[in-house]
């Protein structure tokens, strides 16, 4: 029987997990983060979110040690719950990863247009008042095609690209921190919070699931570990990605708030770049930050492409959707059909433009939390040791809180009708595809 190629090592799992988390949110959404919590509220929100998610990461490390299956949460849930629960869990997690792909393809055009304004020309149509420009659309399509080809050819190609992109992001980030330390002052942090401290931290915590989704992506590539890879190292990769990712976000927020009065960048497009340009009085820091952002975009796009294609592949193999998605390329040992499907879906989402993706992005945050909840509850049920059950219970509680923050009407930032509609459409698509499976999952 043809199996997936086994070529991944510890550094590959770290860069895949870290890269799946760290995209360009620190550039294009910094004004939103500071507007939610102020510098202290945003920093504490991300750091607290990482601490709260440590039990969840531990549960994933234990699950992948026992059950290295590309289906991830769907496979774990299937151990204790009915097939429909397993299917829903896997389908929601697929959304959490997949929706990042068209979003990053759109962001690629945005960043490129910020460097080359001439790209904001030749509008083709408008969606929700937002124009879709032909040059930016073509750029996104080209990047999508490149990553589809890369992932189709082999996991080693994809992993090498991921390692290279992640290394460049971390290397350039050190320069950004150095510029902030040299040109900033602590006085720019005031006021520390945008609202009351508890509210500021809460509003930031709401978005943590979306921006921290990725540490658990290690499980989706578990079947592709090198034969000499020690299974216990899965937990090391997850913990390292989780902690380094949270520290990255915290330092990015601190660097912006330190280099310029943070309230001056609220409502500004590419607030991070603007803050550094204002403080230094030159354009070169902007070029450095945008270059770093492009590498970050490459890594998060590729990381989520790998995770979503493996989840779709595992769904096909389990007959949760068409079995064609579960086929392995005989030469490249990749889930070829699933890779092509994710590439096509990304291209379709890119055509819709960024305006239509906003509500689905919000749904992706809640979907991640529900997937974490399902994994933790399943582990709690199958684990006999009290200490391990306490950790699983803590992870389940944290995941439930993250999910409720989006579902409960009284909580600031909860779902609107558009988010509920996007969730309903995604679930409807899943059950439609499930009808073509040979048998129930």
Instruction: Please state, for a pLDDT cut of 90, what percent of the chain lies above it.
Output: 57
The structural domains of the chain, ordered by start, are 10-434 (1.20.1740.10)
> What phi and psi, each to the nearest 5 degrees, are found at residue 82?
-60, 160
Residues 263-275: what's their mean pLDDT? Answer: 87
Q: What is the pLDDT of residues 215-244, one digit of tens each?
A: 999 999 999 999 988 888 999 999 999 999
What radius of gyration do the chain's Cα atoms show?
A: 21
Lowest pLDDT segment from 77-91, 103-117, 403-417 = 403-417
Lowest pLDDT segment from 60-69, 139-148, 304-313, 422-431 = 422-431
Long-range contacts from 190-194, C-beta under 8 angstroms, 24+ separation: 191/38, 192/38, 192/39, 192/40, 192/41, 193/37, 193/38, 193/40, 193/41, 194/34, 194/35, 194/36, 194/37, 194/38, 194/41
pLDDT of residue 194: 87
Q: What is the pLDDT of residues 150-183, one digit of tens each?
A: 999 999 999 999 999 999 999 999 999 999 999 9
Q: What is the pLDDT of residues 112-155, one digit of tens each?
A: 888 888 888 888 888 777 788 899 999 999 999 999 999 999 99
Residue 364 has pLDDT above 60, yes or no: yes
Confidence class of residue 441 from pLDDT cuts 50, 70 and 90?
very low
Helices 233-259 and 155-183, axial angle in degrees (round to 10) = 30
Average pLDDT, the chain: 89
DSSP letter at 379 equals H
Residue 330's CB is within 10 A of a number of other CB atoms, namely: 8
Residue 356 has pLDDT above 80, yes or no: no
**CA 244/CA 240 separation, integer angstroms:** 6
Residue 411 has pLDDT above 80, yes or no: no
Residues 300-319: what's their mean pLDDT? Answer: 93
pLDDT of residue 412: 67
Q: Which residue has the higher pLDDT, 92 or 208?
A: 92
Confidence class of residue 440 from pLDDT cuts 50, 70 and 90?
very low
What sign has the CA pseudo-torsion 242, 41, 203, 267? negative
Instruction: Please state, for a pLDDT cut of 70, what percent of the chain lies above it.
Output: 97
pLDDT of residue 359: 63
DSSP letter at 325 equals G
Q: Give the pTM.
A: 0.90
pLDDT of residue 211: 84
pLDDT of residue 245: 94
């Amino acid at each position: 029987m043809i199996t997936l190629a086994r070529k991944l090592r510890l550094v590959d799992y770290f860069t895949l997990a870290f890269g799946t988390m760290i995209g360009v949110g620190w550039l294009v959404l910094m004004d939103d983060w500071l507007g939610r919590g102020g510098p202290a509220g945003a920093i504490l929100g991300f750091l607290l979110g990482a601490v709260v998610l440590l039990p969840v990461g531990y549960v994933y490390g234990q699950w992948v040690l026992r059950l290295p299956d590309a289906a991830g949460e769907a496979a774990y849930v299937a151990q204790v719950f009915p097939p429909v629960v397993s299917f829903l869990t896997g389908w929601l997690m697929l959304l959490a990863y997949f929706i990042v792909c068209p979003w990053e393809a759109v962001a690629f055009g945005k960043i490129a247009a910020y460097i080359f304004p001439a790209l904001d020309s030749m509008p083709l149509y408008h969606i929700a008042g937002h124009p879709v420009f032909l040059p930016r659309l073509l750029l996104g399509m080209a990047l999508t095609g490149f990553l589809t080809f890369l992932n189709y050819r082999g996991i080693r190609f994809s992993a090498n690209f991921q390692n290279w992109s992640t290394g460049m992001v971390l290397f350039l980030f050190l320069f950004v921190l150095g510029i902030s330390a040299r040109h900033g002052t602590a006085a720019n942090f005031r006021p520390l919070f945008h609202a009351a401290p508890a509210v500021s931290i809460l509003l930031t915590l709401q978005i943590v699931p979306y921006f921290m989704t990725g540490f658990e992506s290690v499980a989706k590539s578990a079947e592709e570990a090198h034969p000499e890879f020690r299974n216990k190292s899965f937990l090391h990769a997850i913990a390292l990605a989780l902690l380094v990712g949270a520290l990255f976000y915290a330092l990015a927020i601190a660097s912006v708030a330190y280099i310029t009065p943070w309230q001056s960048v609220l409502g500004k497009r590419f607030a991070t770049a603007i803050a550094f340009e204002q403080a230094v009085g030159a354009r070169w820091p902007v070029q450095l930050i945008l270059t770093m952002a492009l590498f970050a975009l490459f890594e998060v796009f590729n990381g989520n492409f790998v995770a979503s294609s493996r989840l779709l592949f595992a769904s096909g193999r389990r007959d949760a959707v068409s079995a064609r998605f579960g086929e392995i390329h005989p030469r490249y040992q990749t889930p070829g059909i699933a890779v092509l499907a994710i590439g096509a879906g990304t291209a379709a989402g890119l055509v819709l433009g960024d305006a239509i993706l906003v509500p689905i992005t919000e749904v992706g945050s809640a979907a991640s939390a529900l997937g974490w909840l399902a994994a933790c509850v399943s582990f709690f049920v199958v684990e006999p040791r009290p200490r391990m059950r306490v950790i699983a219970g803590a992870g389940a509680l944290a995941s439930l809180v993250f999910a409720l923050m989006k579902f409960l009407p009284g909580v600031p930032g909860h779902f609107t009708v558009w988010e509920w509609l996007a969730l309903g459409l995604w679930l409807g698509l899943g059950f439609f595809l499930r009808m073509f499976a040979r048998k129930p999952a």
